[in-house]
């Protein structure tokens, strides 16, 4: 690839998509400074979305170690997730991309379609050990752009005390019918049912997707009967007071705060709440979100990809590949994903994680059933679809439209 391809005009679709795709749903956050690639060929730049990890942290030490192994010095900059995507686009326009970019998985296809990233055909990254469902989030147009460094997703936390008082055996919760029956028992026992986030942002779509996909719906047909059944499920829960009206404004954080009061039987939330769950003051468990007719529903994957941006100097790729390979080696994935509270993207490391912490078993199960939001080659189409999806959820739950009419309007807007 030459410098011209690197400076190609970024598409309007890519710029628009980033406004939605970079909404933080399941990633690290904070504020970071700026960084540019050093002119010295012995220095390689790495940009990541982990500004919370300062120099001297386990993550920073890993980067330095991988640089040493490759025979170079690492110049690392951590950005806020949305900041990182925008600065990456700007750097590509200016011909000054970092050598290694660790980026939120929904953004990968957007950057790839904009010509910012090299494919694994070009950069020779080995992705053979990564779980295919996780790798799919970094695929576009039949090519793969990078490799996952870790994943998180959604599942159902449950309060063991609340369920016991209501006479609910968690083993009986296998599908939507049994889950709804459990919520009815909890309400009858004087407790609250389930809380989640249905806010009118990407977070709302993120939380609705397990139910949407669990019904067998596809993002290319928002108005399907399966999609309507998923939205009707949520609508019915609010009507029966199994879920609170606050879900309309809940972020994933405020939804967690509701569950943490100890009054709710279930709370839909992510791997990133595990530390808070340990501090909640009550005995909890975790099960994957059930699909409509049983089994685990596909929940959307959070987490980042290690990618290699296009460079004008193609001679840098060999060393860059060594750095990226080091970051995603079996041993380093275990250490990194422990630091990031991620489930590893390979079965080998997942097994090691569960052996060290059995509480991760349901999360590994959920991650194995998970699906990338931009999978199925949706790419830059996903943000527009997602926006219409969360608008439909808001319309139906607020009562302004029926689930069927809300989703019909959403599909019409997408077309």
| pLDDT on residue 119 | 97
- Residue 406 sits at φ, ψ, to 5 deg, of -65, -40
Contact present, 95 and 6 (Cβ < 8 Å):
yes
User: Could you give the CA distance from residue 193 to residue 244 in angstroms, rounded to a whole number?
Assistant: 8
The answer to whether 311 and 115 have CB atoms below 8 angstroms apart is no
| Homologous superfamily of 3-152+301-369 | Periplasmic binding protein-like II (3.40.190.10)
Structure tokens belonging to residue 260? 């943490």
Residue with tokens 């609010």: 238
Q: Where in the chain is the domain with CATH 3.40.190.10?
A: 3-152+301-369, 154-299+379-414
Q: What is the pLDDT along the chain (415 residues), one digit of tens a residue?
A: 333 233 344 544 454 545 444 444 454 333 333 333 443 469 999 999 999 888 899 999 999 999 999 999 999 999 988 789 889 999 999 999 999 999 999 899 889 999 999 999 999 999 999 999 999 999 988 999 999 999 999 999 999 999 999 999 999 999 999 999 999 999 999 999 999 999 999 899 999 999 999 999 999 999 999 999 999 999 999 999 999 999 999 999 999 999 999 999 999 999 989 889 999 999 999 999 999 999 999 999 999 999 999 999 999 999 999 999 999 999 899 988 887 889 999 999 999 999 999 989 999 999 999 999 988 778 888 889 999 999 999 999 999 999 999 999 999 999 8
Contacts of residue 52, defined as CB under 8 A and 6 or more positions apart, other chains included, come to 28, 29, 30, 78
Q: In the structure encoding, which two tokens stand for residue 100, read together?
A: 């290694």
The 10 Å Cβ neighbour count of residue 286 is 21
Using an 8 Å Cβ cutoff, are 87 and 79 in contact? yes
pTM of the model: 0.82
Q: Distance (Å, rounded) from C-alpha 170 to C-alpha 153? A: 21
From the number of C-beta atoms within 10 Å of its C-beta (0-12, 13-18, 19+), residue 318 rates as: exposed
β-pairing, 304-307 vs 100-104, is antiparallel
- Partners of 75 in the beta sheet? 45
Q: Apex CA 172: angle with CA 168 and CA 175, to 5°?
A: 120
**Is the separation of the CB atoms in 396 and 403 below 8 Å?**
yes
| Closest to 11 (Cα-Cα) out of 285, 397, 379 | 379
Q: Does domain 154-299+379-414 have CATH number 3.40.190.10?
A: yes
Residue with tokens 């686009």: 89
* pLDDT the model gives residue 335: 87
Per DSSP, the residues of 317-386 read HHHHHHHHHHHTSHHHHHHHHHHHT-B-SBHHHHHHHHHH-GGGHHHHHHHHH-B-TTTTTTGGGHHHHH
How far apart are the C-alpha atoms of 263 and 195, rounded to whole Å? 10
Q: Could you report how far apart the first and last alpha carbons of the chain are, in Å?
A: 35
| Residue among 232, 212, 233 nearest 222 (CA) | 212
Helices (H), 189-305: 202-214, 225-239, 252-259, 274-278
Integer Rg of the chain from CA: 22
Residue 248: partners with Cβ closer than 8 Å, 6 or more residues away:
198, 199, 200, 394, 397, 398
What does residue 140 show for φ and ψ, rounded to 5 degrees?
Answer: -155, 135
Say which residue the tokens 């300062």 belong to: 54
């Amino acid at each position: 690839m030459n410098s011209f391809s690197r400076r190609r005009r970024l598409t309007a679709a890519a710029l628009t998509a980033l406004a939605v795709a970079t909404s933080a749903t399941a990633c690290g956050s904070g504020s970071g400074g700026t960084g540019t690639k050093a002119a010295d060929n012995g220095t390689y730049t790495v940009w990541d979305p982990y500004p919370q990890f300062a120099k001297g942290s386990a993550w920073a030490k890993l980067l330095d170690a991988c640089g040493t192994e490759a025979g170079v010095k690492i110049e690392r900059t951590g950005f806020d997730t949305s900041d990182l995507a925008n600065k990456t686009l700007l750097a590509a326009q200016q011909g000054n991309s970092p050598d290694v970019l660790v980026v939120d998985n929904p953004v990968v296809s957007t950057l790839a379609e904009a010509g910012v990233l090299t494919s694994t055909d070009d950069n020779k990254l080995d992705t053979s050990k990564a779980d295919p469902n996780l790798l799919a989030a970094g695929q576009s147009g039949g090519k793969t752009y990078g490799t996952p460094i870790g994943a998180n997703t959604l599942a159902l936390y449950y309060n063991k005390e609340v369920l016991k008082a209501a006479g609910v055996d968690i083993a009986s919760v296998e599908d939507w019918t049994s889950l709804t029956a459990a919520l009815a028992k909890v309400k009858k026992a004087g407790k609250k049912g389930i809380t989640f986030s249905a806010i009118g942002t990407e977070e709302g779509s993120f939380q609705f997707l397990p139910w949407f996909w669990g019904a067998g719906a596809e993002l290319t047909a928002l108005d399907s009967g399966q999609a309507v059944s998923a939205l009707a499920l949520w609508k019915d829960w609010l009507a029966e007071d199994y879920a609170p009206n606050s879900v309309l404004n809940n972020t994933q954080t405020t939804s967690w705060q509701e569950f943490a009061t100890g009054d709710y039987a279930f709370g839909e939330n992510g791997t990133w709440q595990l530390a808070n769950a340990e501090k909640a003051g009550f005995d909890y468990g975790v099960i994957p979100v059930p699909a409509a007719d049983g089994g685990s529903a596909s929940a959307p994957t959070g987490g980042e990809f290690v990618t290699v941006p296009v460079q004008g100097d193609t001679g840098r790729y060999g060393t860059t590949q060594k750095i990226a390979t080091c970051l995603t080696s079996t041993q380093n994935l275990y250490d990194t994903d422990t630091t990031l509270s991620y489930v590893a993207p390979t079965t080998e490391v997942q097994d090691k994680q569960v052996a060290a912490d059995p509480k991760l078993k349901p999360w590994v199960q959920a991650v194995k059933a998970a699906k990338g939001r931009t999978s199925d080659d949706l790419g830059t189409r996903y943000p527009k679809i997602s926006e219409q999806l969360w608008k439909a959820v808001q319309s139906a739950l607020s009562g302004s439209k029926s689930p069927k009419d809300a989703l019909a309007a959403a599909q019409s807007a997408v077309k």
